[in-house]
Amino acid sequence: MSGLHDALDGYLTVRRALGHKLTGAEYLLRQFLGYLDQAGAAAITTDLALAWALLPAASDVYHAQRLSAVRGFASWLHASDPLTQVPSAGLLPARPARALPYLYRPGEITAIMAAAGRLRLHPASRLAYPALVGLLASTGIRVSEAIALQRGDVLAGEGLLRVTRAKFGKQREVPLHPSAAVALGEYARRRDELFPQPKAGAFLLGPSGSPLAYTTVVGTFRRLLELAGVHAGPGQTPPLIHSLRHSFAVATLTGWYRDGADVPALLPLLSTYMGHADPRSTYYYLQACPELLALAAARLPDLPGAAS
């Protein structure tokens, strides 16, 4: 059964290259492969994974942890071996500490921004929501940080964003992509035409000329998702506005791998950019997606079990 053991070594190497420790997962997966060896099985099936996960354990949560470890490995292996079965996320559900986020595709972000123009909203909101979504998607800042931005915090002409009301009180400067700087500058111009004498100094303004409210933003974003036709597939976590932050982190990491950058050296910069006090907090956002795993594996051409 050396094929599965070699594949596991490859899986662990790639995931650890992305910053994951996987100490507990490795322990469980090596137990699982031992179970398959005893059963004389050469491939992962849902039935075998479920039977192993349900072996006597301390709690139902541990059963779910076993199956979750197998699911991650099986998803990786399925890319190179279509006969590998991936246990459904609905089997042995347990409440994880943090759910895997929905990752938006670029076309979905564009559709969400366009949907704001089709909702029956006040002209101020039809201006603000595309700017807000584009800002979140292109910078990865938190929703609370975006709606707290003041006019002087957005230096579109300089391509710079000053996050002065950040989580934990950590202020930072965030560079803007040129296209984002142009879009935010255009939003500011049209906003000032609509509100020449606004009630507040916030950068993003709602219908009354006041700052956007968090609860209103979350509710409106749900409506934009529906109108844009963006929804979760089977086994996926529903898309949320906060998922734009996850998507930014994964897209950034994927771009670095694609460009041949020194990813481990750049990860602390991404942590600072996103306002994390500890790089370990950034690892949560670096969820494995097919392209990301393929790019990471390509860095290790002699990796055992990696797809060619």
Active site residues: 142, 167, 242, 245, 276, 285
What letter would DSSP give residue 40?
T
Q: Nearest CA to 235 among 46, 84, 47, 99?
A: 99
How far is it, in rounded angstroms, from Cα 27 to Cα 90?
Answer: 23
The answer to whether 279 touches 272, Cβ cutoff 8 Å, is: no
φ and ψ at residue 267, rounded to 5 degrees:
-55, -40
Spatial strand order in the sheet of 160-163: 154-155, 160-163, 172-175
Beta strand spans in 153-201 (E): 154-155, 160-163, 172-175
Q: Which two tokens stand for residue 64?
A: 């779910």
The answer to whether 241 touches 217, Cβ cutoff 8 Å, is: yes
Beta strand spans in the chain (E): 154-155, 160-163, 172-175
The answer to whether 74 touches 43, Cβ cutoff 8 Å, is: no
In the numeric block, the tokens 């492969």 are attached to 33
Q: What share of the chain is helix, strand, coil (3-state, %, to 5)?
A: 55, 5, 40
Report the SS3 class of residue 182: helix
How far is it, in rounded angstroms, from Cα 125 to Cα 146?
Answer: 15
How far is it, in rounded angstroms, from Cα 170 to Cα 166?
Answer: 6
How far is it, in rounded angstroms, from Cα 273 to Cα 236?
Answer: 27
How far is it, in rounded angstroms, from Cα 55 to Cα 232?
Answer: 32
